Amino acid sequence: MTFELVLVLAAGLFSVGLFGALSQQSIVMIMMGIELMIGGVIVAAADFWHFLAPAAADGQVVIVVAVVAMAVEMAMGFAVTTALYRARQVDTTDMARELKG
Amino acid sequence: MEAVSLWGLGVVALACAVAVFACDSMARATFALLGSLVCVGGVVFVLGLPYLGVVTVLMMVMEMVVMAVFMVAYMMNPAGLMPMSMLHNKRGALGISAAVFASLTGAVFLVDWPQRRGSPPRDTTFQVGKALMGGQMLTMVVLGFVLLATMVAATVLALHRGRYDRLGDDLDRCPARDPAGGGVGR
């Protein structure tokens, strides 16, 4: 039963993050939503590794990939935010409708 | 014991995740996200992966502290002193995420999961290290290139004036075009 409940936790984290990524206007808050979604992926991967296939390392490798994805997303998100803000003093998605420099 | 700590960590993780989008104060939202992701690291730890759990916690602490700085720099309402809605299409987003949650949860309980195969190794850190340096080497190489490309691209994007702004497209302008004069021979 614990296996299913941890998967529900992962689904909950993913859905809360999805709500944030869809509904927030601020670019930084959207990134927080995406972080939560990747957090859900990490929980699910650890759960699958522990309860289904502990002898294979693949579950652990998925966690490594997810953590790297988090770092890359943060770095690129802040770089794009900085570039966008410098070019047109914009910090919300609604004000950045047309993607031109 | 394992089930109790998983329950505790899971409830705190979900509560903090909801608080991220319920708080007015951006600083509080950032630290709620930190709490949620630290609990994610804790869940990974309890599930028998101490190395990856600790790595996740350490990385999240650093990331969220950096994020707090950016939040205060870029948000229109960093301290939450002026309650305002910063949402768009709230109802649609709620509907979509509720539908996703319902279908994922339904799948979790409907799928006929396989039985556990094998037993965990004595040293899980050794297991992941051996995989990354052996069978999963391609994954590791790709991750390395992705991180390198991210470093270069993030620097280029965040740079105000690079050498091509100063020295021209062929890097041969002399003297360099700088906003303020000065220096030797200018």
Q: Tell me the count of A-B CB pairs closer than 8 A.
A: 231
ipTM of the complex: 0.90
Mean pLDDT, residues A32-37? 93
Of chain B, the percentage scoring pLDDT greater than 90 comes to 53
pLDDT at B184 over 70: no
pLDDT of residue B54: 95
Q: How far apart are CA A47 and CA A9, in angstroms?
A: 10
Mean pLDDT, residues B30-36? 92
Minimal Cα–Cα distance from A72 to chain B, Å? Answer: 6
Token output for A49: 């590794």
Nearest CA in chain B to A54: B120
pLDDT at A89 over 90: no
pLDDT of residue B95: 93
CATH of region A2-95, choose from 1.25.40.10, 1.10.287.3510, 1.10.3720.10, 3.30.420.40: 1.10.287.3510
pLDDT of residue A25: 83
E-only strand ranges, chain A: none
pLDDT at B69 over 90: no
pLDDT of residue B133: 93
pLDDT at A50 over 90: yes
Q: Which residues of B touch A79 (CB under 8 A)?
A: 153-155, 157-158
Q: How far apart are CA B131 and CA B126, in angstroms?
A: 8
Average pLDDT, chain A: 88
Q: Which of residues 43-72 of A touch B (CB under 8 A)?
A: 43, 46-47, 49-58, 60-61, 63-65, 67-68, 70-72
pLDDT of residue A35: 92
Q: For residue B183, what pLDDT band results from cuts at 50, 70 and 90?
A: low
pLDDT of residue A17: 95
pLDDT at B41 over 90: yes
pLDDT of residue A37: 95
CB–CB contact A23 B37 (8 Å)? no
Higher pLDDT, A63 or B164: A63
In whole angstroms, how far apart are CA A51 and each of A64, A79, A88, B57, B115? 18, 39, 50, 22, 8
Minimal Cα–Cα distance from A61 to chain B, Å? Answer: 7
Return the minimum-mean-pLDDT range out of A74-78, A97-101, B21-25: A97-101
Of chain B, the percentage scoring pLDDT greater than 70 comes to 90
Minimal Cα–Cα distance from A98 to chain B, Å? Answer: 18
User: In this predicted model, what pLDDT tens digit does every residue of B74-129 receive, in sequence order?
Assistant: 766 656 666 666 777 888 899 999 999 999 999 999 999 999 888 889 999 999 99
Name the CA radius of gyration of chain B, rounded. 24
Burial zone of B81 (CB within 10 Å; 0-12 exposed, 13-18 middle, 19+ buried):
exposed
Taking the Cβ of residue A90 and every Cβ of chain B, the question of whether any pair is shorter than 8 Å is answered with no
For residues A45 and A62, the answer to whether their CB atoms sit within 8 Å is yes
Beta-carbon neighbour count of residue B110 at 10 Å? 7
Chain length of chain B:
186
